[in-house]
């Protein structure tokens, strides 16, 4: 149960954060294994060139939540189908990815960000197209020995997206729809939305216009808006459906979306002895006292993820609560980092309302 008065105070902090300019607007869902308990909105979908109101169907650019809502979830479904294993080598799917320690890099390394690959490169400046980018990554030198560090890497998930496309025989947008969004009833989650009801992100310096409905991530835009690392858009209703599945351990009512074996494999902490706590795709809070976007009061077994645009999702099965926080904090500029601390304090205040 949640103390309604304490929860009101936690939600009031969202109003204050918007009013002081931490982010233009926010849409929040808080729920448990019984379903969503609170949906709350405050602020604006856009400030420039004119103020636009939020509504319950407003889509947000999920940014790196694409890695878990889409790519990781598809990966686990393919594992269940016997199409892939965690310890397949990248070279098994991309033969050019070879030489020295690269021969040892597995899909497990990509999923746990322990591959040795760099965190980010501007492929929109370095390559001619998506396929050229895969070739570029395949020939890149590793920055550290695989399995010895955790360095969050977009490159790893760009490769994962490509590999899943090769396994599934179709583009990621079609695979996500078939294996994730349709089974979960997520009708509004997509790449390259066609609606205008989308929270604005950064004002493009080259055009002076806010980015609306196009992938904020430059590499994602370069790939046509479809990638394993970024590009998905979603609204709060669909994120509630996804979170309800997570808080119930992979189940949707009486139906099994992910088996308990697959689900437990996905959220286990594999890197507690390295730089960060990581499951398969997901961040894990862990018990080392490390700083976490999930806050300080969330359970060590809780798992979540953030997106650069200002989105996050955290699930705490032990305390039976999930929190979805969707903001457009990069509007009008990515230089606004006030959300980073607010997110932790907000999660703390929501967790403190549990009784």
Tell which phi-psi region holds residue 341, choosing left (phi > 0), alpha (psi between -120 and 50) or beta: alpha
- Mean pLDDT calculated for residue range 175-180: 98
Is residue 206 very low, low, confident or very high in pLDDT (cuts 50, 70, 90)?
A: confident
pLDDT digits (tens, 9 = 90+) for 238-257: 999 999 999 999 999 999 99
CATH topology of domain 4-49+64-352: Beta-lactamase (3.40.710)
CA dihedral in degrees (238, 241, 247, 251; nearest 10)? Answer: -140
Is residue 120 very low, low, confident or very high in pLDDT (cuts 50, 70, 90)?
A: very high
Q: Where are the domains of the chain?
A: 4-49+64-352
pLDDT of residue 16: 98
Assess contact for 328 and 45: CB atoms under 8 A. yes
pLDDT digits (tens, 9 = 90+) for 187-202: 999 999 999 999 999 9
pLDDT digits (tens, 9 = 90+) for 144-156: 999 999 999 999 9
Share of the chain above pLDDT 70, in %: 100
- Mean pLDDT calculated for residue range 306-329: 98
Predicted confidence (pLDDT) at residue 331 exceeds the cutoff of 90: yes
pTM of the predicted model as reported, rounded to 2 decimal places = 0.98
Who contacts 322 (Cβ-Cβ below 8 Å, separation ≥6)? 29, 30, 31, 32, 243, 244, 246, 247, 313, 314, 315, 316
Find the helix packing angle between 260-267 and 73-80, rounded to 10°.
140
pLDDT digits (tens, 9 = 90+) for 34-76: 999 999 999 999 999 999 999 999 999 999 999 999 999 999 9
pLDDT of residue 355: 84
Measure the CA–CA gap between 284 and 300, rounded to whole angstroms.
Answer: 7
Predicted confidence (pLDDT) at residue 319 exceeds the cutoff of 90: yes
What average pLDDT does the chain have?
97
pLDDT of residue 178: 98
pLDDT of residue 205: 85
């Amino acid at each position: 149960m949640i103390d309604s008065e304490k929860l009101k105070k936690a939600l009031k902090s969202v109003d204050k954060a918007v009013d002081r300019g931490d982010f233009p607007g926010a849409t929040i869902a808080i729920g448990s294994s019984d379903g969503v308990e609170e949906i709350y909105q405050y602020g604006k979908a856009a400030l420039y060139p004119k103020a636009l109101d939020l509504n319950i169907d407003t889509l947000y650019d999920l940014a790196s939540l694409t890695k878990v809502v889409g790519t990781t979830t598809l990966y686990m479904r393919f594992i269940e189908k016997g199409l892939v294993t965690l310890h397949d080598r990248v070279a098994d799917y991309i033969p050019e990815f070879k030489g020295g320690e690269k021969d040892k890099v597995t899909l497990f390394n990509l999923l746990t960000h322990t591959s040795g690959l760099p965190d980010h490169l501007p492929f929109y400046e370095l390559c001619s197209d998506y396929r050229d980018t895969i070739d570029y990554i395949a020939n890149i030198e590793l920055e550290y020995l695989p399995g010895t560090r955790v360095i969050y890497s977009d490159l790893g998930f760009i490769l994962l997206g490509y590999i899943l496309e090769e396994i599934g025989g179709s583009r990621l947008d079609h695979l996500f729809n078939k294996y994730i969004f349709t089974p979960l009833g997520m009708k509004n989650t997509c790449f390259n939305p066609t609606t205008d009801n989308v929270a604005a992100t950064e004002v493009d310096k080259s055009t002076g216009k806010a980015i609306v409905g196009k992938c904020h991530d430059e590499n994602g835009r370069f790939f046509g808006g479809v990638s394993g690392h970024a590009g998905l858009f979603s609204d709060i209703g669909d994120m509630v459906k996804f979170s309800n599945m997570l808080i119930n351990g992979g189940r949707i009512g009486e139906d099994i979306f992910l088996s308990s074996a697959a689900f437990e494999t996905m959220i286990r902490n594999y890197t507690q002895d390295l730089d960060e706590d990581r499951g398969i795709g997901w961040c894990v809070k862990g018990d080392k006292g490390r700083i976490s976007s999930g806050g300080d009061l969330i359970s060590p077994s809780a798992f979540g993820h953030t997106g650069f645009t200002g989105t996050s999702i955290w699930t705490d099965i032990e305390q039976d609560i999930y929190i979805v926080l969707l903001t457009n904090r990069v509007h009008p500029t990515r230089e606004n980092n006030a959300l980073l601390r607010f997110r932790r304090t907000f999660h703390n205040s929501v967790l403190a309302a549990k009784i």
